[in-house]
Structure 1
Amino acid sequence: MSMTGNAVRAAHISLLALLALCGQALAQAGETQSKVTDPHFKIAPGYLKRSELPDSLVLLGPPPEKGSAALARDEEARQATLPLRNTERWKLAYTDADLAFPQAADNFSCAMGVRIDSKQTPRLHAMMLKTLSDFGLSTYGVKNRYNRVRPFVVHNEATCRADQEVILRSDGSYPSGHTAAGWGWALVFAQINPERADALLKRGIEFGQSRVICDAHWQSDVDAGRIMGAATVARLQTDATFLADLKAAKAEVKAAKAKPVSSTPECAAEAAALSAR
């Protein structure tokens, strides 16, 4: 059966309209993936291309819905942290919120048992910078799709970091990019220094919980951030450049651990803060 000229033209127009809609949808999807609000995740290029990162849109579901048991859990977790405001644990949440260097490296130096810096452990220090981008960027598919409102905005209260609140108001809460970075770092550090694995993983867990204590994230944001951090670490295990840096970082830490180091007041204060409940 043959088509008339008018029918052919109509079909052609319909096809063009469909292609235009598909192109618009793809552009919107690309924008969802590419928009990055938090400047911490653009400090240095990562190991992975954006197309190589784990896809949060595949790995995570949507954030808890209004009236759900999951949201009730988020509210309960938030309420449990309110007594920690203005305590030493609150102050630790303040420093954990700083992903700029050298503070980001200092946050994990006590757990590592070695000071992480550009002089003593330059390869490890550079790894932290590069992986920060990978961990943080892995969260932005879902973060931009749902643009979840943060708890301090919902409850009209302050966070532990007034200086960051302008950015936080426009950056989706779910999942937590800070948590993805902290948990991802902890997993990598445990590979580098397995003798300190428990301390490093504990620090990584508390790094994420600092986001709830700070009132910057809901508990479900933190839980989802850990998933993306772990997924990114799994992907990094197949990257040759990362693996070469991992080997070099192990040698740096081994050499640093061979030097006598005395306990510092900062590490004692951190341990005391982390013991607060």
Structure 2
Amino acid sequence: MTGTAVRAAHVFLLALLALGGQALAQADEAQPEVTDPHFQIAPGYLKQSDLPNSLMLLGPPPETGSAALARDEEARSATIPLRNTERWKLAHADADLAFPQAADHFSCAMGVRIDSGQTPRLYAMMQKMLSDFGLSTYGVKNKYNRVRLFVVHNEATCRADQEAILRSDGSYPSGHTAAGWGWALVFAQINPERSDALLKRGIEFGQSRVVCDAHWQSDVDAGRIMGAATVARLQTDPTFLADLEAVKAEVKAAKQVPSVSECAAEAAALSER
């Protein structure tokens, strides 16, 4: 083989290697099948390969006849008296992950109105994090495709308009809970003086899924694990950290606060047991 031919072969080999590397990168970035459109509102901070792996962090959902499933049934039974109460109505509101409603869920706990006008950086940050939190759950969601408790018990949820999506979307773990708990953890960083109120709201945001009859308790527990794992990973992302500092200043400067009456109503609903 001549020198020219050798060089041409070398170039061709390098090109093949480059294409192979590109193909591997694209495969690594392949998105899981995402049934819930709420988790595709905006591109997240993290690449797919950088998200926490739910297949490594979570075991399977409770098995039929297990003590864990009995606990799930007990948790469901405990929420039955809350149906059609103010707590049920709050669960109905918490089920909405579409913006602008999603941004307002934590306004009372934050002590400032969270919206695109007063806190645009936080508003955008919430949308980006929502994708990260939701996508972190889909490895296990798609593997087990757990049936929702309202389907098992042939009941209605607090959101009839969402039931068609829920029937085809795996129940375990809860993406709503991952988002609510993840948001709460980050909000506690942003406004540490209100961290207890924010974390409490994050806990109740997840419990709304059980109240709504949309998730088993073990779905909610697993969702919190994925939300926390995603927040831990976000702490290493430079873009997120830069946004975090900017949002701290934005919230500190915010003037508009939620009304006393709406926050009192929320507190009263959360106190129902």
Q: Same fold (TM over 0.5)?
A: yes
Aligned AA (1:186): A
C-alpha deviation, 1:272, in angstroms: 0.6
In structure 2, do the counterparts of structure 1 residues 251 and 173 end up closer, same or farther at CA, with 3 Å as the change threshold? same
- The match for 1:61 is 59
Correspondence 1:20-59 to 2 at 5 A: 34-59=32-57
Whole-angstrom CA distance in 2 between matches of 1:218 and 1:263:
33
Whole-angstrom CA distance in 2 between matches of 1:261 and 1:127:
19
Conserved? CA contact 2:118–2:256, under 8 Å: no
In structure 2, do the counterparts of structure 1 residues 129 and 224 end up closer, same or farther at CA, with 3 Å as the change threshold? same
Whole-angstrom CA distance in 1 between matches of 2:258 and 2:183:
24
C-alpha deviation, 1:262, in angstroms: 7.1
Whole-angstrom CA distance in 1 between matches of 2:185 and 2:88:
24
C-alpha deviation, 1:108, in angstroms: 0.5
Which residues of structure 2 form unaligned runs of 5+? Answer: 1-26
Aligned AA (1:176): S
- The match for 1:270 is 266
Which residues of structure 1 form unaligned runs of 5+? Answer: 1-28
SS of the residue aligned with 2:105? helix
Whole-angstrom CA distance in 2 between matches of 1:266 and 1:51:
41
Conserved? CA contact 2:107–2:258, under 8 Å: no
- The match for 2:150 is 152
In structure 2, do the counterparts of structure 1 residues 275 and 240 end up closer, same or farther at CA, with 3 Å as the change threshold? same
- The match for 1:253 is 251
C-alpha deviation, 1:81, in angstroms: 0.1
Whole-angstrom CA distance in 2 between matches of 1:97 and 1:198:
22
- TM-score normalised over the length of structure 1: 0.87
For residues 223-245 of structure 1, the C-alpha deviation after alignment (integer angstroms, 9 at most, x for no partner) is 00000000000000000000000
Correspondence 1:88-167 to 2 at 5 A: 88-167=86-165
In structure 2, do the counterparts of structure 1 residues 253 and 64 end up closer, same or farther at CA, with 3 Å as the change threshold? same
* Aligned length, in residue pairs: 248
C-alpha deviation, 1:268, in angstroms: 1.2
What CA RMSD, in Å, does the superposition of the two structures yield over aligned residues? 1.8
- TM-score normalised over the length of structure 2: 0.88
Conserved? CA contact 1:33–1:140, under 8 Å: no
Aligned AA (1:266): E
For residues 84-133 of structure 1, the C-alpha deviation after alignment (integer angstroms, 9 at most, x for no partner) is 00000000000000000111111110100000111111111100000000
Whole-angstrom CA distance in 2 between matches of 1:190 and 1:107:
15
Whole-angstrom CA distance in 1 between matches of 2:61 and 2:103:
30
Whole-angstrom CA distance in 1 between matches of 2:195 and 2:211:
24
Match of 1:185 among 183, 186, 198: 183
Conserved? CA contact 1:176–1:225, under 8 Å: yes
Greater than 4 Å deviation, 4+ residue runs? none
SS of the residue aligned with 1:34? coil
- The match for 2:19 is none
Conserved? CA contact 1:33–1:141, under 8 Å: no
Aligned AA (1:170): S
Conserved? CA contact 2:108–2:258, under 8 Å: no
